[in-house]
Amino acid sequence: MPVDSAGSRDPRSRLVREKYFCVRPRPLEQWLWAKRVPASAERVFWLHWQEGMLRGDWCSELPIRRVARECHLDSSTVTRAYQLLIKIGCMRRSDPGRDPANPFQQATAVTEIRLPRELLVELDRHPNRRAITNHLTSTDRRTLQPAVVEESTAPSASEISEENPSPMEEGTDPFPQLTGRDRLRAITELTEPMSTAERHAYQEAVRMHRPRMTFDAASKLSAEARDKALQLLTWLAKTANAGSHPAHNNPTVPRVPQQEPSRKLSVFELSHLHRKLQATTPPSVAPDLMRQVVWSVEAGPLRRFDKQHALHIALKKIREGLWTRPHRMPPNWARTLSHPSAPETCKAA
Q: 303 and 239 in one domain?
A: no
Q: 80 and 45 in one domain?
A: yes
pLDDT of the residue at 244: 47
Q: 147 and 237 in one domain?
A: yes
Burial 212-224 (b: 16+ CB within 10 A, else e): ebebeeebebeee
In 3D space, the residue among 248, 80, 251, 225 whose CA is nearest the CA of residue 157 turns out to be 225
Domain count, the chain: 3
Report how far residue 108's alpha carbon sits from residue 330's, in angstroms, rounded to the nearest whole number. 30
Q: For the purposes of burial, counting CB atoms within 10 Å of the CB of 166, is it exposed (0-12), middle (13-18) or buried (19 or more)?
A: exposed
Q: 139 and 119 in one domain?
A: no
pLDDT of the residue at 1: 47
Q: Domain ends where: 91, 125, 159?
A: 125
Q: 171 and 138 in one domain?
A: yes
* pLDDT at position 200 over 60: yes
Top mean-pLDDT range of 53-62, 176-185, 243-252, 340-349: 53-62
User: Cβ–Cβ contacts within 10 Å for residue 15, how many?
Assistant: 10
Question: 235 lies in a domain?
Answer: yes
Tell me the mean pLDDT in the region 25-33.
Answer: 92
The fraction of the chain above a pLDDT of 70, given in percent, is 73
Question: 330 lies in a domain?
Answer: no
Report how far residue 310's alpha carbon sits from residue 292's, in angstroms, rounded to the nearest whole number. 13
Tell me the mean pLDDT in the region 286-302.
Answer: 86
Q: 25 and 106 in one domain?
A: yes
Question: 332 lies in a domain?
Answer: no
Helix %, strand %, coil % of the chain (to 5): 55, 5, 40
Q: Minimum mean pLDDT among 23-37, 59-73, 142-156: which range?
A: 142-156
* pLDDT at position 190 over 70: yes
Q: In the 8-state DSSP scheme, what is residue 344?
A: B
Report how far residue 44's alpha carbon sits from residue 22's, in angstroms, rounded to the nearest whole number. 13
- Greater confidence (320 vs 259) lies with 320
Q: 57 and 160 in one domain?
A: no
Taking CA atoms, 259 is separated from 157, 215, 295, 335, in Å, by 43, 44, 18, 20
Beta bridge partners of 344: 106
Q: Minimum mean pLDDT among 198-212, 260-274, 288-302: which range?
A: 260-274
Q: Domain ends where: 94, 125, 156?
A: 125
pLDDT of the residue at 103: 66
Question: 288 lies in a domain?
Answer: yes
Tens of pLDDT, residues 136-161: 445 444 444 443 333 334 444 444 33
Question: 225 lies in a domain?
Answer: yes
* pLDDT at position 281 over 60: yes
Q: How many residues does the chain have?
A: 349
Q: 293 and 206 in one domain?
A: no
Q: Is 128 strand, coil or helix?
A: coil
Taking CA atoms, 298 is separated from 144, 173, 182, 261, in Å, by 48, 45, 47, 11
Is residue 85 very low, low, confident or very high in pLDDT (cuts 50, 70, 90)? very high
* pLDDT at position 257 over 60: no
Q: 308 and 216 in one domain?
A: no
Report how far residue 61's alpha carbon sits from residue 51's, in angstroms, rounded to the nearest whole number. 9
Report how far residue 119's alpha carbon sits from residue 15's, in angstroms, rounded to the nearest whole number. 32
Q: 276 and 178 in one domain?
A: no
Q: In the 8-state DSSP scheme, what is residue 105?
A: E
pLDDT of the residue at 349: 42
Is residue 209 very low, low, confident or very high in pLDDT (cuts 50, 70, 90)? confident
Q: 222 and 163 in one domain?
A: yes
Is residue 263 very low, low, confident or very high in pLDDT (cuts 50, 70, 90)? confident
Which amino acid type is present at position 284? S
Q: Domain ends where: 65, 100, 125?
A: 125
Q: For the purposes of burial, counting CB atoms within 10 Å of the CB of 281, is it exposed (0-12), middle (13-18) or buried (19 or more)?
A: middle
Tell me the mean pLDDT in the region 101-124.
Answer: 82
Task: Return the CATH number at 92.
Answer: 1.10.10.10
In 3D space, the residue among 102, 99, 84 whose CA is nearest the CA of residue 42 turns out to be 84
For residue 102, what are the domain limits? Answer: 17-125
The fraction of the chain above a pLDDT of 90, given in percent, is 17
Q: In the 8-state DSSP scheme, what is residue 93?
A: E
The dihedral sign for the CA sequence 129, 134, 140, 144? positive
Phi, psi torsion values for 39, nearest 5 degrees: -65, -35
Question: 260 lies in a domain?
Answer: no
Sheet containing strand 59-60, edge to edge, reads 59-60, 110-113, 91-94
pLDDT of the residue at 115: 92
Q: Looking at 56-172, list the stretches that DSSP marks H as alpha helix, in order from N- to C-terminal side.
A: 64-71, 75-87, 117-121, 138-152, 157-163
Tell me the mean pLDDT in the region 14-43.
Answer: 89
Question: 2 lies in a domain?
Answer: no
Q: 215 and 140 in one domain?
A: yes
Beta bridge partners of 106: 98, 344
Tell me the mean pLDDT in the region 293-313.
Answer: 87
Top mean-pLDDT range of 76-80, 238-242, 276-280: 76-80
Tell me the mean pLDDT in the region 64-71.
Answer: 93
Report how far residue 157's alpha carbon sits from residue 254's, in angstroms, rounded to the nearest whole number. 38
Who contacts 254 (Cβ-Cβ below 8 Å, separation ≥6)?
247
Question: 38 lies in a domain?
Answer: yes
Average pLDDT, the chain: 76
Taking CA atoms, 167 is separated from 156, 236, 242, 316, in Å, by 10, 15, 19, 68
In 3D space, the residue among 274, 325, 273, 268 whose CA is nearest the CA of residue 296 turns out to be 325
pLDDT of the residue at 81: 94
